[in-house]
């Protein structure tokens, strides 16, 4: 297929916006027509994203949107719901990377966020995670990319639901460790290097907003804690699961192979040889791959599930492009086939 689609990135000066530009610039079917930034208007893309100095493109004002085929919105929460009409007027397909259209009801936004100004559009939005929602993505024109912590957790636990190991009423405790890029380019004092270096800091011991996505898409209430750790890229979820009946390693291998055996971006890593015996963010840094794995603790009737993603890719920009590929009828892996590097520094 040689068809080319024009694309714009709103909020292109941030970390997620930069990743979108990187992916779209190398994509065989996308041409980047516009990158917006209020703060960096008229400056080159390479001014803010030094890895993109080769792009002949300057930031423009987000109020002046070009007409394109696909608009990717990499804006803070609350912006897209206010500007959704302008976004949809500018593009036939809108892919939003914020939390504005991830959940299905106004009541959820009242509970987990600060309400919603366009609740009538929530039913029209499709969750971007293809491993969960692939069947609903073809032709979708309003797509909501999932939260990185929720993505890592859902990917780890989904095969257990698919296989009937979990029914939804079991106790599940989830601990997620994330890199500083999750806070975005304006992450503030807590994300500055002197404050972030060397830490394992619980920044959301309870009540993290991504719990809402896990409940929505798995039907499971989890005990959820998030730690900020000393890495730049990556989200690693450790899920402590207490099934009602006995589970063997054979059962788990069967469950994960059944769910992810044909998935182009999922790998099962469970106690093999070498240094990287379980899922590791460093091993997927810069890629759209996700790793999942598991171990059994028979004395405590516990299954420990591990999952690892790059929060900027599988948990954000990569997931968005993957979903856009499916929506437009392109090859799923287009523009995303590249592997990571080894060895690398902090992810």
Helices 249-260 and 148-162: crossing angle in degrees, nearest 10, is 120
| Residue 27, Cβ density class (10 Å: 0-12 exposed, 13-18 middle, ≥19 buried) | buried
Output the tens digit of pLDDT for each of the chain's 347 residues: 469 999 999 999 999 999 999 999 999 999 999 999 999 999 999 999 999 999 999 999 999 999 999 999 999 999 999 999 999 999 999 999 999 999 999 999 999 999 999 999 999 999 999 999 999 999 999 999 999 999 999 999 999 999 999 999 999 999 999 998 888 877 777 777 888 889 999 989 998 999 999 999 999 999 999 999 999 999 999 999 999 999 999 999 999 999 999 999 999 999 888 999 999 999 999 999 999 999 999 999 999 999 999 999 999 999 999 999 999 999 999 999 999 999 987 65
> What is the rounded distance in angstroms from the CA atom of residue 233 to the CA atom of residue 178?
7
74, 122, 144, 148: which one is catalytic? 148
Active site residue 148: yes
User: DSSP secondary-structure letter at 50?
Assistant: G
User: DSSP secondary-structure letter at 122?
Assistant: G
How many CB atoms lie under 10 A from the CB of residue 231? Answer: 21
Does 15 show up as a binding residue in the annotation?
Answer: yes
Does 39 show up as a binding residue in the annotation?
Answer: no
Does 242 show up as a binding residue in the annotation?
Answer: no
Q: Are 187 and 18 in contact (CB under 8 A)?
A: no
Token duo for residue 128: 């971007």
Query: Quick one: pLDDT at residue 346?
Result: 64
Does 14 show up as a binding residue in the annotation?
Answer: yes
How many CB atoms lie under 10 A from the CB of residue 77? Answer: 13
Query: Quick one: pLDDT at residue 272?
Result: 85
Does 311 show up as a binding residue in the annotation?
Answer: yes
Coarse DSSP helix, strand, coil percentages of the chain, rounded to the nearest 5 percent: 35, 25, 45
Residues 186-211 have pLDDT tens digits of: 777 777 788 888 999 998 999 899 99
Q: How far lies 271's CA from each of 107, 238, 277, 293, 294, in Å? A: 42, 14, 5, 8, 8
Is residue 346 classed as helix, strand or coil in its secondary structure? coil
Q: Give the number of residues written for the chain.
A: 347
Query: Quick one: pLDDT at residue 344?
Result: 87
Query: Quick one: pLDDT at residue 190?
Result: 76
Q: What is the dihedral of CA 311, 312, 314, 317, to 10 degrees?
A: 150
Query: Quick one: pLDDT at residue 273?
Result: 86
How many CB atoms lie under 10 A from the CB of residue 272? Answer: 10
Domains identified in the chain and CATH numbers: 5-146+316-328 (3.40.50.720), 148-309 (3.30.360.10)
């Amino acid at each position: 297929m040689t068809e080319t689609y024009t694309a714009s990135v709103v909020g292109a000066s941030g970390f997620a916006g930069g990743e979108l530009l990187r992916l779209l610039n190398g994509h065989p079917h996308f041409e980047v027509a516009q990158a917006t930034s209020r703060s960096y208007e008229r400056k080159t893309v390479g001014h803010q994203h030094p890895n993109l100095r080769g792009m002949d493109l300057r930031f423009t004002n987000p109020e002046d949107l070009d007409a394109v085929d696909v608009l990717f919105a990499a804006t803070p929460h609350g912006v897209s719901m206010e500007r959704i009409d302008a976004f949809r007027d500018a593009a036939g397909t809108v892919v939003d990377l914020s939390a504005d259209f991830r959940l299905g009801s106004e009541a959820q936004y009242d509970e987990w966020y600060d309400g919603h100004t366009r609740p009538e559009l929530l039913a029209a939005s499709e969750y971007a995670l293809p491993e969960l929602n692939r069947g609903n993505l073809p032709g979708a024109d309003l797509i909501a990319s999932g939260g990185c912590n929720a993505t890592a957790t859902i990917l780890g636990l989904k095969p257990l639901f698919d296989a009937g190991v979990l029914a939804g009423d079991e106790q599940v405790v989830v601990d997620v460790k994330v890199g500083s890029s999750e806070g975005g380019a304006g992450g503030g004092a807590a994300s500055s290097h002197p404050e972030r270096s060397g830490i394992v800091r619980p920044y959301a011991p309870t009540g993290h907003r991504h719990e809402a996505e896990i409940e929505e898409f798995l039907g499971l209430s989890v005990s959820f804690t998030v730690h900020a750790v000393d890495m730049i890229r990556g989200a690693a979820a450790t899920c402590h699961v207490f099934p009602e009946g006995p589970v063997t390693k054979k059962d788990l291998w069967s469950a994960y192979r059944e769910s992810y055996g044909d998935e182009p971006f999922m790998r099962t890593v469970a106690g093999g040889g070498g240094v990287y015996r379980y899922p590791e963010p460093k091993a997927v840094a810069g890629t759209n791959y996700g790793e999942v794995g598991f171990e059994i603790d028979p004395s405590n009737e516990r299954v420990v599930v591990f999952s690892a993603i790059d929060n900027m890719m599988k948990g954000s920009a990569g997931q968005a492009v993957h979903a856009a590929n499916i929506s437009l009828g392109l090859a799923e892996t287009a523009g995303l086939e590249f592997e990571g590097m080894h060895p690398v520094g902090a992810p």
